[in-house]
């Protein structure tokens, strides 16, 4: 893989990750007349839960469902400049023009209304966009395994880079797919957030892992993984280094966790063999998901990585894929107990979810691109 760093017209970084044997030199210049990015992000701490909430009012003007011929993630064409100046690319990562968190945010830590009750601080971090392919009509499930490996390498590269940036406490790569999820750009892409705090979900998993290790001397996800592999009831796909299974307490109508067999804190720690094996297992999972209802499944794919500076020994990297689609034409809406109290009620069982995914196609791997 070849990595090339360039800059857009407003100074934002763009990094090309090429997996071609002889990639072209990335010399195209961004000819747009762009004003500097002016992020005004801040974070406020909820005094009742202790959770941080981001405030990013400048994002109200971000790009919203442009026509395909004006897609800002497609390669630049004559007369149609985009966020990516090159005429073609393999994988491209660039700073988000409408970031939720940014390095250039100014301000001092204080409290709301100077009352000393609600802490407030600059939303210092980093937000990036990851374009998986230059093909507007492709999906992640349609990528070749070699391209998925390039994406994994790009995720690992950006995890390492963002982890060194001022204010970043946790790096979160993810993909939102489908309008039902809220996607406003249909080009196959994901994002990476460098949060200025450890997220509530991660903090809770660390707390549980610490308690479990104190009692059993082992990692809770390691024991869950061993139990799922031994049972096989909820396993959807597996490889030499990864197993994908429906979690035994699944919340969503479609939910799969992909877990490496070896405990590592983040993507940077994966070996080449583990990255290659992930590509095959993940593609099988995604193809089964798309075959489930005979239509592209809207989903969120979220990487759970260790915080940058603490409790890394208590974390076990894994990917979680879940969907709000509970039937071909019905969505799961969060009910009062879920939205109000975070008490989830699933309309199906994990065993039923896993069985439907296993039966979705005769052999998802048979559909793999050459």
Q: Tell me, what's the pLDDT at 365?
A: 45
Q: 305 and 277: one domain?
A: yes
All residues at 6 or more sequence positions from 293 whose CB lies less than 8 Å from its CB, including other chains: 325, 327, 328
Q: According to the annotation, is 74 in a ligand binding site?
A: yes
Has residue 366 been placed in a domain?
no
Same domain as 244, residue 162: no
Q: 147 and 33, same structural domain?
A: yes
Global confidence as pTM: 0.94
Please confirm, yes or no, whether 189 is among the known catalytic residues.
yes
Do 154 and 246 belong to one domain? Answer: no
**Within this chain, do residues 122 and 243 fall inside the same structural domain, yes or no?**
no
The size of the chain, in residues, is: 370
| Residue 369, in any domain of the structure | no
Same domain, 182 and 221: no
Indicate if 312 and 173 belong to the same structural domain.
Answer: no
Judge whether 289 is annotated as a binding position: no
Q: Binding site annotation covers 315?
A: no
What CATH number is given to the structural domain containing 355? Answer: 3.30.428.10
Whether 367 is covered by a domain: the verdict is no
Residues 208 and 346 in one domain: yes
| C-alpha distances out from residue 188 to 152, 176, 233, 327, Å | 15, 9, 32, 23
Picking from 174, 197, 220, the residue at the C-terminal end of a domain is 197
Number of folded domains that form the chain: 2
Q: What is the pLDDT along the chain (370 residues), one digit of tens a residue?
A: 999 999 999 999 999 999 988 889 999 999 999 998 888 899 999 999 999 999 987 776 666 667 778 899 999 999 999 999 999 999 999 999 999 999 989 889 999 999 999 999 999 999 999 999 999 999 999 999 999 999 999 999 999 999 999 999 999 999 999 999 888 889 999 999 999 999 999 999 999 999 999 999 999 999 999 999 999 999 999 999 999 999 999 999 999 999 999 999 999 999 999 999 999 999 999 999 999 999 999 999 999 999 999 999 999 999 999 999 999 999 999 899 999 999 999 999 999 999 999 999 754 444 444 4
Residue 195 CA, chain-centre distance (Å), reads 13
Residues of the domain holding 353: 201-361
User: What pLDDT was estimated at residue 56?
Assistant: 87
For the CA atoms of 78, 79, 82, 84, the dihedral, rounded to the nearest 10 degrees, stands at 30
Among candidate residues 7, 58, 186, 189, the one labeled active-site is 189
Q: Is 213 annotated as a binding residue?
A: no
Residue 266 and residue 212 in one domain: yes
271 and 346 housed in the same domain: yes
């Amino acid at each position: 893989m070849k990595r090339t760093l360039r800059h857009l017209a407003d100074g934002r970084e763009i990094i090309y990750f090429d997996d071609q044997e002889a990639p072209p030199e990335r010399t195209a210049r961004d000819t747009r007349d762009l004003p500097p990015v002016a992020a005004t992000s801040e974070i406020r701490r909820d005094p009742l839960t202790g959770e941080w909430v981001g405030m990013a009012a400048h994002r109200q003007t971000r790009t919203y469902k442009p026509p395909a011929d004006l897609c800002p993630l497609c390669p630049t064409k004559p007369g149609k400049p985009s966020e990516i100046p090159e005429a073609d690319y393999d994988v491209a990562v660039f700073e988000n023009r409408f970031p939720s968190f940014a390095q250039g945010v100014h301000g001092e830590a204080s409290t709301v209304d100077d009352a000393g009750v609600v802490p407030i601080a600059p939303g210092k971090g980093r937000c990036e966009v990851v374009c998986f392919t230059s093909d507007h009509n492709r999906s992640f499930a349609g990528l070749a395994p070699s391209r998925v490996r390039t994406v994994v390498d790009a995720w690992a590269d950006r995890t390492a880079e963002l982890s060194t940036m001022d204010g970043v406490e946790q790096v979160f790569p993810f993909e939102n797919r489908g309008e039902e999820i809220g996607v406003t750009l249909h080009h196959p892409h994901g994002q990476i957030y460098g949060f200025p705090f450890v997220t509530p979900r991660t903090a809770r998993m660390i707390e549980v892992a610490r308690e479990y290790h104190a009692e059993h001397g082992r990692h809770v996800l390691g024991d869950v993984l061993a139990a799922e592999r031994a049972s096989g009831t909820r396993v959807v796909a597996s490889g030499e280094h990864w197993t994908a299974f429906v979690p035994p307490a699944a919340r969503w109508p479609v939910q799969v966790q992909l877990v490496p067999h070896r405990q590592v804190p983040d993507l940077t720690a994966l070996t080449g063999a583990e990255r290659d094996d992930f590509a095959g297992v993940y593609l099988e999972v995604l193809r089964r998901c798309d075959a489930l209802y005979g239509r592209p499944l809207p989903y969120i794919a979220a990487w759970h990585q260790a915080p940058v500076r603490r409790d890394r020994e208590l974390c076990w990297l894994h990917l979680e894929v879940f969907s709000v689609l509970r039937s071909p034409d019905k969505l799961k809406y969060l009910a009062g107990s879920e939205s109000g109290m975070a008490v989830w009620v699933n309309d199906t069982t994990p065993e039923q979810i896993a069985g439907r995914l296993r039966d979705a196609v005769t052999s998802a791997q048979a559909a793999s691109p050459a």
